[in-house]
Structure 1
């Protein structure tokens, strides 16, 4: 006697038909929605890129253009002093060269280029010294005696420079400082930069502003941190720390504080 698996195959056929129709609908919906999803992903990527470009313009070019305006104002105020005017114009020329270098760095970044760490730090220190000199603020620079012979992504150097530009811009614009201590330290694969001023402290509105969020986002992108302490009338201390190599569990509990007094 033959074994009958299903006495009535109609329910099975109906279920199979429903399942097949459902699968076909899913496939058709996926084919319809996939181009739309791709378009949405492309739009989101475009929005992200537009935000990045806007952030770069805010953090880099705005500070540099302010510096150009400051130099021009100083030159015009001393137009009768030929030697002083020449010095200010030379500073403007150096700044234009620095802007050209930034364009070069952006191109290298897109090409996934790398820079020597020593070159990155030299560029940052030179910028800090010249920017503060233009603002007539005394800068005490402390540099490491030796720098490891290593390369870092161009993106790392660019984000770090833009963070420092914004911090110095805030010192000049808001702190009313006359002196700045700019300290660079290297311990194994940890880079630390300390910026300390003798100004009036950070205004409350800057603690939660768009620029401050950008600074922390930039440091997070390069696996770094930014800590700021400030008291009214006692200046501001900005402490940047960057691990140049992947951190090991043992190193997570050891944060070098060699830049602090």
Structure 2
């Protein structure tokens, strides 16, 4: 009967505790491990004893529902830290800070809480701070920090009167490196282990703390750098937009001025020159045939017609409505046919039907036109050809103009250096970023290829002013290209 009763008690109460044994339990989902210590001895856990902890400290006056802010600073000498442990407890609760960062909090004064600060400390000055709260009656804070260096040196920080009380209203007090003279010293209420608290029954081991490695993109310096770059980009973008707006406005004003000049030349100068031609022809008709004066009037009328043709070309060049690839192709084809009309050379046109209407700036189309005119002039004067093929193609990202005749040809390596035709064409194309190629053999005709890459044109002319101005200057210097007679019906 007694044996049965003993077995029943054993089942209900569990096995008896052996002195010196420990219970392990998780109080907050793995936040800490509690080790119950039998008797009153804490020294069984190693080198730690009550001498490693300071006394219970608080403000000079103890009040219900009172919050105290404790502050202290430690200086760690140069060297490697072997181990750094801190034990703390408070009646009723505490929040522990290191260099402004919260390490942990709890509210059980019967337990000690142990923190491993080894990975968080380094040589230099550190700020240790505690915010403690008392709900009612007795109040106190007790802690001890032990830092052991690899060379054997030992640094201890205890709760004593060296701790300062930080008044309410001080911002970021947990990380202030030097105390204010207005901060009062803490008061030691009782030694650790004294009444009314006695000795703690357990040490809660807080899981090891690791220094938080902040990614560089989350650091303040990175944010400041990004903000600075954004500011620079905003300023540069604003400046570019302003320049672009000014450039657009200047281009608009330039086009208006070009259109006005074209109208004035056509309506005023063109009218007067035409009247001179008509008056000369009337005067010529009234003179007897074969007279010397009649011949002079005839030469005068021919010079006036030549002036009209030159004026037509100038009007075509400056008219902003002609600043397209399609207008350029139309003009070149018409010019070639009129130029070869009174020669034995038949002009065969081979033009791609789908020519873009994209913008073709004045410096580009003028230099390309002058190069085409130079090539036509060379064919008419030197080739002795009967047929000329004029091909205009849109290849890749550029316009290609090819002139190929069936004349007598020549050897490019032995061409006369006194003639500037080939040199002029190469120079005109080079000025605007184009390409010039000539291939010929004696008795096998000649082929001239002029190409204008669109990508290169955009690269050279998109920035305000500089390259356009240089190309215009180069074009003005090379206006000595020979003009060939034709009629005055060119579209303006």
Question: TM-score band (shorter)?
Answer: 0.5 to 0.7
Q: Which residue of 2 aligns with 1:15?
A: none
Deviation sequence 1:195-225 (CA, Å, 0-9, x none)? 1100011363346732321111100112111
Q: 2:305, 2:337 → 1: CA distance? A: 12
Q: Which residue of 2 aligns with 1:230?
A: 440
Deviation sequence 1:77-126 (CA, Å, 0-9, x none)? xxxxxxxxxxxxxxx99875542133235656xxx997011111111111
Q: 1:195, 1:166 → 2: CA distance? A: 11
Aligned 8 A contact 1:185 1:191 in 2 = yes
Q: Which residue of 2 aligns with 1:158?
A: 366
Aligned 8 A contact 1:105 1:158 in 2 = no
From the CA coordinates, give the structure whose radius of gyration is larger. 2
| Paired residue total | 155
Instruction: Compare relative contact order (CA 8 Å, sep 6+) and give the higher one, 1 or 2.
Output: 1
Aligned partner of residue 245 in structure 1, secondary structure: helix
Q: 2:304, 2:328 → 1: CA distance? A: 20
Matched, 1:192 2:400: yes
Q: Say if 1:122 and 1:207 are closer, same or farther in 2 by CA, change over 3 A.
A: farther
Q: 1:93, 1:141 → 2: CA distance? A: 30
The RMSD of aligned alpha carbons is 3.0
Aligned 8 A contact 2:399 2:451 in 1 = yes
Q: Which residue of 2 aligns with 1:120?
A: 328
Aligned with residue 209 of structure 1, among 378, 398, 419? 419
Q: 1:1-261 to 2 correspondence within 5 Å?
A: 97-104=308-315, 115-202=323-410, 204-206=414-416, 209-246=419-456
Aligned partner of residue 385 in structure 2, secondary structure: coil
Q: Which residue of 2 aligns with 1:83?
A: none
Deviation sequence 1:116-152 (CA, Å, 0-9, x none)? 1111111111111111122231111001111112011
Q: Which has the higher helix share?
A: 1
TM-score by length of 2: 0.29
Deviation sequence 1:132-181 (CA, Å, 0-9, x none)? 12223111100111111201111111111111111111111111000011
Structure 2 gaps of 5+ residues are 1-302, 459-492
Q: Which has the higher strand share?
A: 2
Q: Say if 1:151 and 1:207 are closer, same or farther in 2 by CA, change over 3 A.
A: farther
Runs of 4+ in 1 over 6 A off after TM superposition: 92-95
Aligned 8 A contact 1:113 1:154 in 2 = no
